[in-house]
Amino acid sequence: MNIAIIAHNGKKAEMVQFLNENQEALHAKGIHLVATGTTGAKTEAAGFEVEKLLSGPLGGDAQIASRVAEGKIDMVIFFRDPLDKHPHEPDIFMLMRLCDVHDIPMATNPATAKLLIKAI
């Protein structure tokens, strides 16, 4: 199973904490993590194996959206910061739309992400 992980700057520590808390489930199920650049670097520094793409503002969100459209991503965990402005909002909305179009589960907060991880 391929899971894409993305976290806005104010949520990166929360993403790493979430991954650490769910490390057993992720490893037991043989999950392949794909991440936008900086999120991937933080995830890698925490000891996880992750495929890193471009940073979100530089096209990483669009790369993940493309993989969703190609059927190469099974789930997206995107810890968004809803209280901050993001210059790449069109890419974020495109990713969310493509997850809906292709029926890909997407969590935008830790509570939903935990439920999705428990479900696999």
**C-alpha distances in Å from residue 86, one per residue of 56, 61, 66, 70, 102:** 10, 12, 20, 25, 24
- Catalytic residue numbers read 61
Alpha helices in 8-107 (DSSP H): 12-21, 23-28, 37-45, 60-69, 89-101
Q: Provide Rg for the chain, Cα atoms.
A: 13
